[in-house]
Amino acid sequence: MKLDFEKAVAEHKDMVYRLAYTGSGSFSDAEDIFQDVFMKLHSRTEDFESTEHLKAWLIRVTVNSVKTMKRSAWFSRRDDTPVQTIADSGNDKDAVIAVREAVMKLDKKYRIIVILYYYYGYTCNEIAEMTDIKAATVKTRLSRARDILKKQLKEAWYDE
């Protein structure tokens, strides 16, 4: 499949940005990662097998860019900024915000898997392939993330 760069950016920009933001927890870091991912795509010379291959490649490069940023000396020396959330428009805005905030509070190893599974609809095997983690580990992390979210959300609703 011949790459149409502008079409690829238009179709996948939201996914890449959300994943970068989810991994980094910062709008400015997400923008840097976003640019890095699409610069790598632009300089790529090999063709993709399909649109799903392109999407998987973008997810993989985004996850790796987040990991690289987190390992950098600059990142380890900076102050952590509070995680910001973007409210969705919907029928029960408070519930959506509560769930999003709970997901954003998860440890990164759980958060990325939850986002890929629930927001993007990937299977555990596909997530395992993208993140270079065993499928059984993905399933375990997904189960643990559900338990953590259930506990956090239950406490949040009982506090009100």
**Domain-ending residue, one of 84, 99, 129:** 84
Residue 73: per-residue pLDDT: 66
> Over pLDDT 70: what percentage of the chain?
83
User: Which positions ≥6 away from 17 have C-beta within 8 Å?
Assistant: 30, 31, 34
Fill in the DSSP letter of residue 119: I
Do 43 and 99 share a domain, yes or no?
no
Tens of pLDDT along the chain (160 residues) come to: 788 889 999 999 999 998 888 888 778 888 999 999 999 999 988 889 999 999 999 999 998 898 888 777 665 555 444 444 444 444 466 777 778 888 888 998 999 899 888 877 788 998 888 888 999 999 999 999 999 998 888 876 665 5
**Domain-ending residue, one of 54, 84, 114:** 84
Please report how the helices 51-71 and 5-24 are oriented relative to each other, as an axis angle in degrees rounded to 10. Answer: 40
Do 2 and 57 share a domain, yes or no?
yes
Q: In total, how many domains does the chain have?
A: 2
Domain that residue 156 falls in? 90-160
Do 77 and 105 share a domain, yes or no?
no
Residue pair 135/128 in contact by the 8 Å Cβ criterion: yes
Do 80 and 98 share a domain, yes or no?
no
